[in-house]
Amino acid sequence: MTAPDPMRTMRGAAVWVIALAAGCAAPGSGVRYTLSGGEIREPLSNAATAAADAERGRKVLVSREANCILCHAAAETGERFYGNLAPPLSGVGKRLTAAQMRARIVDPLFFNQESIMPAYYRVEGLHRVAENLRGKPILSAEQIEDVIAYLLTLQ
């Protein structure tokens, strides 16, 4: 990872306090995790990690649902087009652990309050969400664990 800039670390720290105090559990949605020290150590679903599958994860990554490649290049996926709004994911498996990736995917605003990356496992504090999507995270716990399994293969 590149050295964090001081602004980011400060904001990150402020959010951290809240995260530590509150954890996150949205009633009824099944969304639950604990983010601390920039990591989510526990898998989002135990059953999911046991069965996590990198190939399924690749498909999720390029799907319209997740659309990670809207912003991130990831040449390994073999897709034709990528956005360039975000750092390329190539080699991310060397830079981040599964726990760090999980935190980045679940709550990018923890790391950067101005992040443009969507929180893939968040259901609260959102505005004007399309009715059919309200209360639902962008990806399920299983899908996120599959994506992590895939990202770990990007060495």
Which residues make up the interface to other proteins (CB under 8 A)?
Answer: 67, 69-71, 81-85, 113-114, 116, 118-119, 122, 125-131, 133, 136, 138
Residue 5: HSE in the Cβ half-sphere, 13 Å Cα cutoff? 4
Three-state secondary structure readout of 65-121: CCCHHHCCCCHHHCCCCCCCCCCCCCCHHHHCCHHHHHHHHHCHHHCCCCCCCCCCC
- Minimum gap (Å) between residue 143 Cβ and ligand HEC: 8
- Minimum gap (Å) between residue 57 Cβ and ligand HEC: 9
Q: Which residues bind ligand HEC (CB under 6 A)?
A: 1, 66-68, 70-72, 85-87, 92, 95-96, 101, 104-105, 108, 111-112, 115-118, 120, 147
Residue (24 or 92) nearer to ligand HEC, CB: 92
Residue (102 or 122) nearer to other proteins, CB: 122
- Minimum gap (Å) between residue 50 Cβ and other proteins: 28
Residue (55 or 134) nearer to other proteins, CB: 134
99's contact among ligand HEC, other proteins, none, with CB below 5 to 8 A by partner kind, is: none
> How many other CB atoms sit within 10 Å of the CB of residue 99?
17
Using the CB atoms, write b or e for 45-79: b if 16+ within 10 Å: beebbeebeeebbbbbbbeeebebbebbbbebbee
Residue (24 or 120) nearer to ligand HEC, CB: 120
Among the listed residues 139, 65, 63, the one whose alpha carbon sits nearest the alpha carbon of residue 105: 139
